[in-house]
DNA sequence: AAACATAAAAGGTCTGACAAATACAACAAT
DNA sequence: ATTGTTGTATTTGTCAGACCTTTTATGTTT
């Protein structure tokens, strides 16, 4: 006859309260930028202590759902979910997985090759002049032979992001930025020699030209070839690394 | 002359400590499943109070970096980053953005259409017999006319997930699961009538057959058509909804 | 050997207080 | 009259110490 009122609550008080508030936010019962009651008031309403309220709020703050400020006009406010913050959060998660070696290099390269080719197709359809200019700017930068390896890699990332940006598709940008950024720690293992730099820049320029000409299939094929070339470089780099440290995992 | 020693530390003590521990985990200085000192011990080492330590740990727990257990053999442990947890985290973030109406329905449909077509191609190349069986199982379920709308939608999601699964590509699965799941609240607005259900199931079956036959291009084209059909249904549903509530946003 | 009771360890919570930041009002000086 | 200063109230941030709850190890009893 017991309706199992126990065991339907999972976790401690802090977690329960955090879940309650999170649900309220997600269901729109708490509007964006709305101010929550003070911590003391929350403690009284939930009949728990203030430290427990604070633990709950810290959890929500860690998930970018709320923010807190001190002072008379301070308090706790509901955050507006913004694409940038979400992208950062997703990128962090993906970077962690990649960094811990939960994915094969090979499948990452495949995923990037295919998805970026797709972005090329959409970019060829939807690119604006500003998008083309952004790509051209990075290409110009990459032609500077005095550029450090770090800066070259950074510019490479920005070029690929510019291609994604040119698709004009928000959800796609969200996912692709995470995919590209999470790959950085791995591409940073590469050392681009002059020869490879020239090849890379030439590939970028061909891709930009195809996108400018709205030639979707050529752009996609060029991107596939470009990333496939990176796979070869990565294999060499990994081979060198394994030669140095024969039994090295991915520490 | 002041070297600006202030203002280089952002946030309170709890945040600083959380950042320290997070960095230690991400850099591998704390191994997976390693046990951290007790909260009391941490408080002593950082020269802060236990409540503050707990706030820091709550933040890390919210990010799935650590877990805590009570008891003599309990304590705080470093979590192994798993794909499932990451997928859930990414899905939550994406769902929030979609739910708050930060994306157009149209661009979401486009993104899904293109990326799922891509998955179809890869699935046709890499699918195992188990993958095909999973798709067939959902199709069989969807043929049951007694299925509730809820269950039909759930099975629809599982079918699309099965296609993604068949690509065998981890990073792609991670991104696509988020894309598919975040779309659920929107597809749930649809009410499938018998006619539309039969069309949907027929499309699923054609896609499965093409993947089984390893016919990548046909499978991709079928998926594009299938999702494009959903766009039409969604437009109708949105039109109906706007007719009911002429000035309704996306609450 | 198995079942049960006991104690210790660790996270979870509570209470009450003080510290620090900040908006706003009142006031003083130019 | 405008500007700078000071005070004050409010709210989050931190602290200290205590007690509660859960979990496990240990030892006792049958």
CA torsion B78→B80→B84→B87, rounded to 10°?
A: 70
3-state secondary structure of B213: coil
Two tokens at A47? 């009949």
The answer to whether the C-beta of B69 is closer than 7 A to strand C is: yes
Residue B218 C-alpha, separation from nearest chain A C-alpha, in angstroms? 17
Q: What's the pLDDT at B9? A: 63
From chain B, the residues in CB contact with A108 under 8 A are 171
The answer to whether the C-beta of B49 is closer than 7 A to strand D is: yes
Structural domains of chain A sorted by starting position, each given as residue range(s) with its CATH number in brackets: 13-78 (1.10.10.10), 84-244 (1.20.120.530)
What distances in angstroms separate CA B166 from CA B115, B118, B170, B178, B184, one per listed residue?
A: 14, 12, 10, 16, 21
Pairing of the two strands B66-69 and B75-78? antiparallel
Q: What's the pLDDT at B38? A: 95
The answer to whether the C-beta of B52 is closer than 7 A to strand D is: yes
Q: What's the pLDDT at B144? A: 93
pLDDT surpasses 50 at B14 = yes
Residue B5 C-alpha, separation from nearest chain A C-alpha, in angstroms? 22
pLDDT digits (tens, 9 = 90+) for B82-91: 999 999 999 9
Q: What's the pLDDT at B249? A: 41
From chain A, the residues in CB contact with B54 under 8 A are 51, 55
**Residues 6 or more apart in contact with residue A130 via CB below 8 angstroms:** none
pLDDT band at B232 (very low <50, low <70, confident <90, very high): confident
The answer to whether the C-beta of B69 is closer than 7 A to strand D is: yes
Q: How many Å apart are B97 CA and C23 C1'?
A: 33
In chain A, where does DSSP find H-type helix? 13-26, 39-46, 50-62, 83-99, 105-126, 129-143, 149-165, 170-182, 184-187, 194-212, 216-244
State the Cα angle at A66 between A65 and A70, rounded to 5°.
165
Q: What's the pLDDT at A234? A: 87
Q: Within an 8 Å CB–CB cutoff, is residue B59 touching chain A?
A: yes
Q: What's the whole-number mean pLDDT along residues A141-152?
A: 92
Name the DSSP class of B35.
B
Q: What's the whole-number mean pLDDT along residues A29-55?
A: 96
Q: Within an 8 Å CB–CB cutoff, is residue B202 touching chain A?
A: no
**8 Å CB contact of A58 and B59:** yes
State the Cα angle at B122 between B209 and B233, rounded to 5°.
65
Strand D-proximal residues of A, range 55-84, CB below 7 A, are 57, 68-72, 74-76
pLDDT surpasses 50 at B113 = yes
pLDDT surpasses 80 at B2 = no
pLDDT band at A192 (very low <50, low <70, confident <90, very high): confident
From chain A, the residues in CB contact with B251 under 8 A are 28
| C-alpha to C-alpha distance for B59 and A14, rounded to whole angstroms | 12
Q: Within an 8 Å CB–CB cutoff, is residue A23 touching chain B?
A: no
pLDDT band at B245 (very low <50, low <70, confident <90, very high): low
**Pairs across A and B, CB distance < 8 A:** 135
What ipTM was assigned to the predicted interfaces of this complex?
Answer: 0.85
B55, B100, B121: residue with CB nearest A54: B55
pLDDT band at B238 (very low <50, low <70, confident <90, very high): confident
Q: What's the pLDDT at A180? A: 95
In the Cβ-directed half-sphere of A19, how many Cα atoms lie within 13 Å? Answer: 8
Q: What's the pLDDT at B190? A: 75
pLDDT surpasses 60 at A172 = yes
pLDDT surpasses 50 at A243 = yes
Q: Within an 8 Å CB–CB cutoff, is residue B14 touching chain A?
A: yes
**8 Å CB contact of B171 and A103:** yes
DSSP secondary structure string for all residues of A138-187: HHHHHH-TT--HHHHHHHHHHHHHHHHHTT--HHHHHHHHHHHHHTHHHH
More reliable by pLDDT, A31 or B248: A31
Of the listed ranges A30-44, A124-138, B59-73, B188-202, the one predicted with least confidence: B188-202
Two tokens at A73? 């006009």
Q: What's the whole-number mean pLDDT along residues B185-210?
A: 89
Two tokens at A26? 């997600």
Q: What's the pLDDT at B119? A: 98
Q: What's the pLDDT at A233? A: 86
Q: What's the pLDDT at A163? A: 98
Q: What's the pLDDT at A7? A: 40
pLDDT band at A247 (very low <50, low <70, confident <90, very high): very low
Q: What's the whole-number mean pLDDT along residues A107-134?
A: 97
Angle, helices B170-182 vs A83-99, to 10°: value is 150
Strand C-proximal residues of A, range 23-62, CB below 7 A, are 47-52, 55
Task: Spell out a b/e string for B112-139, using b for 16 or more CB atoms within 10 Å of the CB, else e.
Answer: bbbbbbbbbbbbbeebeeebbebbbebb
Q: Are B217 and B121 in contact (CB under 8 A)?
A: yes
Of the listed ranges A9-23, B15-29, B63-77, the one predicted with least confidence: A9-23
Q: Within an 8 Å CB–CB cutoff, is residue B153 touching chain A?
A: no
Query: What positions of strand C are covered by protein, i.e. any atom < 7 Å from a CB?
Result: 8-17, 20-24
| C-alpha to C-alpha distance for A53 and B1, rounded to whole angstroms | 43
**8 Å CB contact of A83 and B97:** yes
DSSP secondary structure string for all residues of A48-71: S-HHHHHHHHHHHHHTTSEEEE-S
From chain A, the residues in CB contact with B112 under 8 A are 171
Q: What's the whole-number mean pLDDT along residues B189-217?
A: 92
CA torsion A238→A240→A241→A246, rounded to 10°?
A: 110
Residue B182 C-alpha, separation from nearest chain A C-alpha, in angstroms? 10
pLDDT band at A240 (very low <50, low <70, confident <90, very high): confident
């Amino acid at each position: 006859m017991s309706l199992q009122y126990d065991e339907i609550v999972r976790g401690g008080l802090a977690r329960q309260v955090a879940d309650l508030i999170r649900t309220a936010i997600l269901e729109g019962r708490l509007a964006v930028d709305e101010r929550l009651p003070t911590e003391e008031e929350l403690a009284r309403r939930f009949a728990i202590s203030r430290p427990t309220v604070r633990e709950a709020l810290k959890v929500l703050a860690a998930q970018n759902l709320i923010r807190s400020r001190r002072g008379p006009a301070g308090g706790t406010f509901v955050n507006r979910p913004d694409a940038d913050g979400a992208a950062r959060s997703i990128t962090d998660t993906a970077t962690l997985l990649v960094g811990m070696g939960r994915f094969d290099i090979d499948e990452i390269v495949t995923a990037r090759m295919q998805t970026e080719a797709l972005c090329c197709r959409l970019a060829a359809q939807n690119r604006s002049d500003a998008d083309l200019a952004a790509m051209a700017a990075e290409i110009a930068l990459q032609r500077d032979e005095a550029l450090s390896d770090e800066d070259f890699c950074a510019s490479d990332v920005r070029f690929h992001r510019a291609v994604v940006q040119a698709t004009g598709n928000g959800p796609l940008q969200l996912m692709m930025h995470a995919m590209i950024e999470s790959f950085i720690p791995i591409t940073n293992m590469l050392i681009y020699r002059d020869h490879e730099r020239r090849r890379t820049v030439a590939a970028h320029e061909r891709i930009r030209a195809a996108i400018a000409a709205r030639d979707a299939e050529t752009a996609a094929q060029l991107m596939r070839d470009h990333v496939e070339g990176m796979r070869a470089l990565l294999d060499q780099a990994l081979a060198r690394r394994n030669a140095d440290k024969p039994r090295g995992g991915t520490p």
